[in-house]
Amino acid sequence: MMNRRDFVQTAAAASIATGLAGCAAAVTGHSRLQWQHFPADDKGFFRAPVLLSGDQEAVLIDGGFSLPDGRAVAEAIKASGKQLTTIYVSQSDPDYYFSLGPIKAAFPAARVIAASDTIAAIRANVQKKIDTWAPQLKENGPQKLADIVFPEAYDGPALMLEGHRIEIVKAQGLENRRYLWVPSLNAVFGGVLVFSGLHVWTADTPTPASRAAWVRNLEAIAARKPAVVVPGHLGAPGALDVSAVNYTREYLLAFEQELAKAANGDALIAAMNKRYPDAGLAAALQIGAKVAKAEMKWG
């Protein structure tokens, strides 16, 4: 059984780009809400955690992959002068929680929470993930189970930040997939459902039915008509609006079309590279194509 270790050369120090200030909204009777995202490069799987900030407090949506990523986010939050109250983990992949150690250390009072099924999925494979990545990340990643920050269970429908509602939307027809919807910002923080400028990670949706469900969820996101969309995985330069949702949807539909025509995984890879010659995260296509053609097992 293959995993990302076999496809991605992970450097010892994964870097993270400076967080970019995002949109803000003033709502009568509430504080001013702002967002900031922290896009990583290919060494961090292009992850883009998001910080939501009110006048005094802040909520972090997801972590990243490496401990340097986590330290960079922690320093940015400290520099903002805001008190981090909550870290919400939307997905069980290690690039959504490996970096949380330095953040939790900097803000020990912050609650780290996730849905029950996300926690179950993390616990089911966390040791395997550590065994895979610890030798490559070395001091830049968790080395043992005690280094992992495990979330507490939270299955509520929303978080609140200084009067602003942050809705937790469970993907329909897909296990362990969620995104965040913030009405006062007219913003979607898409987690693992939304990619931009990259090959889309399809290995965890190996069947046509699961990919069709993904497409339906993307259409539901687009129907909200969000002004802002921050993909969970963001290439550079990447869109921060609904075009990222459309990109992911179109990629999945193209993948299905080429899958039906391709004789094998290599042919599917070639066809998708022809359609998306500039897309990053090549490992997503290399693995996803082999899984879709039943040439490789994943998970």
Q: How far is it, in rounded angstroms, from Cα 182 to Cα 176?
A: 20
Q: How far is it, in rounded angstroms, from Cα 203 to Cα 167?
A: 27
Give how many domains the chain has, as a whole number.
1
Establish if 38 belongs to a structural domain.
yes
Region label for 268, one of left (φ > 0), alpha (ψ between -120 and 50) or beta (otherwise) = alpha
**159, 112 Cβ separation under 8 angstroms:** no
Q: Which residues pair with 188 in a beta bridge?
A: 181, 229
Within 63-115, residue ranges assigned H as helices are 67-80, 100-106
Whichever domain contains 133, its CATH number is 3.60.15.10
pLDDT, residue 298, reads 84
Question: DSSP 3-state assignment of 93?
Answer: coil
Look up the pTM and report it. Answer: 0.90
Which one, of 44, 33, 35, lies nearest residue 77 by Cα? 35
Which one, of 46, 139, 148, 145, lies nearest residue 103 by Cα? 148
- Integer CA distances (angstroms), 241 to 23, 81, 143, 167, in order: 11, 28, 37, 18
Phi and psi angles of residue 296, each rounded to the nearest 5 degrees, phi first: -155, 145
Establish if 297 belongs to a structural domain.
no
pLDDT, residue 58, reads 98
Establish if 184 belongs to a structural domain.
yes
Task: Count the neighbouring beta carbons within 10 Å of the beta carbon of residue 32.
Answer: 14
- Integer CA distances (angstroms), 280 to 13, 25, 92, 180, 262, in order: 19, 32, 22, 24, 21
Within the chain, residue ranges assigned H as helices are 67-80, 100-106, 116-137, 208-223, 242-261, 265-275, 282-292
In a structure prediction context, what are the per-residue pLDDT tens digits for the chain, which is 299 residues long?
A: 433 433 333 333 333 333 433 444 434 356 799 999 999 999 999 999 999 999 999 999 999 999 999 999 999 999 999 999 999 999 999 999 999 999 999 999 999 999 999 999 999 999 999 999 999 999 999 999 999 999 999 999 999 999 999 999 999 999 899 999 999 999 999 999 999 999 999 999 999 999 999 999 999 999 999 999 999 999 987 889 999 999 999 999 999 999 999 999 999 999 999 999 999 999 999 999 999 999 998 87
Establish if 102 belongs to a structural domain.
yes
Establish if 298 belongs to a structural domain.
no
Establish if 299 belongs to a structural domain.
no
Establish if 50 belongs to a structural domain.
yes
Q: Which tokens is 259 given?
A: 């899958």
pLDDT, residue 237, reads 78
pLDDT, residue 136, reads 95
Domain that holds residue 256: 4-292
